Amino acid sequence: MSTQSTQWAAPAPDTKRLIGIDWNIGGLLHAGPRFYAFISLLVTVIFLGLMAWGAFLFNGGGLMAMRDTYPWGLWFTNYMYYVGLSAGGLAVYASVHLFGAEQFRPLSRLAVLQAGVLVMMALLGIITDMERFWRAGWMLLTPNPTSPFVYTGSAANIYMIIAFVDLWILITGKGGEKLAMRMTLIALPFAVYLHTTTAFVLSLNKARELWNSAVMVPIFLTSATASGIALLMISAYIMQRFNVMRFKKSMFRSLSTLLATVIIIDLFLLGVEILSIFWPTSNHPGHSARMALFFEAPYGWVFIPVLILGVSAFALLAGRNRRHLPAVQLTAAAMYVVAIFLKRYTLMAMGFAIDPLGQFTAPYFPSLVEILIALMILAIGLLIMAVAAKILPLQVPDQEIEEHAHEHVKQRAEWAALDAEPQAAQASVTEAG
């Protein structure tokens, strides 16, 4: 039976069909005590975050640690981080439809869901930073075309909608493989546009020397892709651990190989930037003085772990004889997810460590209100993922996987036959000669 024919089958018991999706309400109602304890913890964190946000709205920005010399704080760090993490889901999903990487097809629904939720979390960070968030619509009605925030903000909204529409298409099978391919061709340019414009928020700021670098955009893209793939691997292991989804070991090995490849590119670009800043013949006093702050106190404790964790994660995955071990894969993925969060913080701090007048500014540490709001947004994302794991059919049916794998093998055989025809014709001409 094909994928499209199964979507019209009668819903299973304890499920409700809505917009073509069978929502497993029974899975949520009959969940175990550990699940409800986790949900209770998330709801508590969300409640505390709402109280902190309410205090901010009523009392103003004085409750935040942000100041004139640090106008962007934890919220912007998390915006860059969550937008970047969403890249991994699309990279894996797009590789299925564009490059025939069928081993990643079981991850497709999880990858698209995670990408959409992460971008939503990034947008929540912007909203919670506004003292008058209800005026956010004015940015859409009266945009400033010279502000990169206009482009990255609009791209984030569009990309989030595309991700959730794409998830609906994958679950319902509406339109089949052809529509899924078209959605990939739409989502991929928007994803690149989103991550590029986010990096342009930094690189187009000529008053902040370490930001004003052309390599900022490719570094942001590679960091985003690597951390997103790492988070997707962790999510896949969690889903498998709680019997929500199941995957083959070969899939995790392919994912870890892809992760190692992107990590080394990311580390190379970072190394090139550091070398260009400190090399004697290319040394610029403003750049080198600022970069030196991140190898010593008070910023060294944030930046140096980025290098240590990144190199260590690649070293773990570089060995072919241990790359298949789940413990190695999870350790390397977790290390790089943490490394990129620290890297996003240093990216934010690099522009503000020394102001445009050359004055050193004290380091920024988020206030309790900022931390509670950030934890609230994280809890909202985890709550959506936890509930979705119970009620959404995230597991790609084995029949669909086998069907597409068979089509892929057949297509490759046809391509091989087409390639062989000119060679056979040339051989016959040679023999005749």
At residue 355 the predicted structure's pLDDT band, cuts being 50, 70 and 90, is confident
What's the rounded mean pLDDT across residues 270-299?
A: 84
When mean pLDDT is compared across 5-14, 187-196, 369-378, the lowest value belongs to 5-14
At residue 201 the predicted structure's pLDDT band, cuts being 50, 70 and 90, is confident
Q: What is the DSSP string of 88-148?
A: HHHHHHHHHHHH--GGGGGGHHHHHHHHHHHHHHHHHHHHHH-TTGGGTHHHHHS--TT-H
What's the rounded mean pLDDT across residues 3-24?
A: 64
pLDDT of residue 379: 96
Location of structure tokens 């990311």 = 266
Structure token digits, residue 305:
């772990």
Is residue 43 over pLDDT 50? yes
CA gap 130, 126 in Å, rounded: 7
Is residue 131 over pLDDT 80? no
pLDDT of residue 421: 61
Is residue 134 over pLDDT 80? no
What's the rounded mean pLDDT across residues 57-70?
A: 86
Please state, in angstroms and as integers, the Cα–Cα distance from residue 68 to each residue in 61, 72, 348, following that order: 11, 9, 14
CA gap 108, 93 in Å, rounded: 5
The CATH number of the structural domain formed by 33-417 is 1.20.1630.10
Name the residue among 216, 249, 221 with its Cα closest to residue 233: 249
Residue with the larger pLDDT of the pair 412 and 81: 81
Instruction: Determine how many CB atoms are found less than 10 A away from the CB of residue 393.
Output: 16
- Identify the three-state secondary structure at position 424: helix
| Residue 340 near residue 82, CB atoms below 8 Å | no
Percent of the chain with pLDDT over 70: 89
pLDDT of residue 359: 82
When mean pLDDT is compared across 7-11, 129-133, 319-323, the lowest value belongs to 7-11
Please state, in angstroms and as integers, the Cα–Cα distance from residue 217 to each residue in 7, 84, 118, 147, 198, following that order: 42, 12, 20, 17, 8
Residue with the larger pLDDT of the pair 231 and 245: 231
What's the rounded mean pLDDT across residues 294-306?
A: 89
At residue 2 the predicted structure's pLDDT band, cuts being 50, 70 and 90, is very low
Instruction: Determine how many CB atoms are found less than 10 A away from the CB of residue 72.
Output: 18
Instruction: Determine how many CB atoms are found less than 10 A away from the CB of residue 413.
Output: 10
pLDDT of residue 170: 86
Please list the residues that pair with 354 across neighbouring strands: 360
At residue 244 the predicted structure's pLDDT band, cuts being 50, 70 and 90, is confident
pLDDT of residue 29: 80
Structure token digits, residue 68:
């004139």
At residue 305 the predicted structure's pLDDT band, cuts being 50, 70 and 90, is very high
* Most confidently predicted of 309-323, 354-368, 398-412: 309-323
- Identify the three-state secondary structure at position 298: coil
What's the rounded mean pLDDT across residues 220-241?
A: 91
Q: What's the pLDDT tens digit per position in 141-150?
A: 787 887 777 8
Is residue 270 over pLDDT 70? yes
Q: What's the pLDDT tens digit per position in 388-426?
A: 998 888 888 777 666 665 555 555 555 455 556 665 556
Is residue 350 over pLDDT 80? yes
Phi–psi pair at 59, nearest 5 degrees: -110, -10
CA gap 34, 163 in Å, rounded: 30
pLDDT of residue 405: 54
Instruction: Determine how many CB atoms are found less than 10 A away from the CB of residue 360.
Output: 13
Is residue 370 over pLDDT 90? yes
- Sign of torsion over alpha carbons 100, 106, 107, 112: positive
pLDDT of residue 427: 58
When mean pLDDT is compared across 87-101, 329-343, 367-381, the lowest value belongs to 87-101
At residue 12 the predicted structure's pLDDT band, cuts being 50, 70 and 90, is low
Is residue 117 over pLDDT 90? yes
At residue 6 the predicted structure's pLDDT band, cuts being 50, 70 and 90, is very low
